[in-house]
Amino acid sequence: MTRKKTRNTSARAAKVRRQTNALATRRRPQLRTDLDGILNAFAEAVAAGAFELAGPNGTPYTATLEDISAYTNAELADDGEPPAGMAEVLQLFADDIRYGALRLRLDGLWESDNDYRPAKGATA
């Protein structure tokens, strides 16, 4: 008669401990995903007149609504479109949230696919 194989319960318990520890220490997503919180932060930044953005190398910078408007209108001009008013610029900027081009990080900085810093040599 052959002996039935049994599981080594201590190995299973060790595996469960490793999985539990890995799950507890797993890196959390660095972006906020709650739309209400994101939209509230967007409204607060609009009311303040500026957004704190993370630059390409992670260093924070401030983009004023005028910087964002200038960037957007330059893109529109490149496409042969007339300049947009501030309300339309903000609508286009808010649409970036929906399409994932503008993201709010957990540290409160915004990430964007666009660089809204004024061009070197540009005057405000």
Q: Which two tokens stand for residue 86?
A: 């501030």
- Which pLDDT tens digits describe the chain residue by residue (124 residues)? 677 766 666 777 888 888 888 777 766 667 777 889 999 999 999 999 999 999 878 889 999 999 999 999 999 999 999 999 999 999 999 999 989 899 999 889 999 988 888 765 454 4
At 27 the pLDDT is 64
Domain chopping of the chain, boundaries: 35-112
pTM of the model: 0.68
At 15 the pLDDT is 84
Q: What gap in Å lies between CA 50 and CA 110, rounded to an integer?
A: 11
Per-position DSSP letters for 40-96, written without gaps between them: HHHHHHHHHTEEEEE-TTS-EEEEEHHHHHHHHHHHHHHTTPPPPPHHHHHHHHHHH
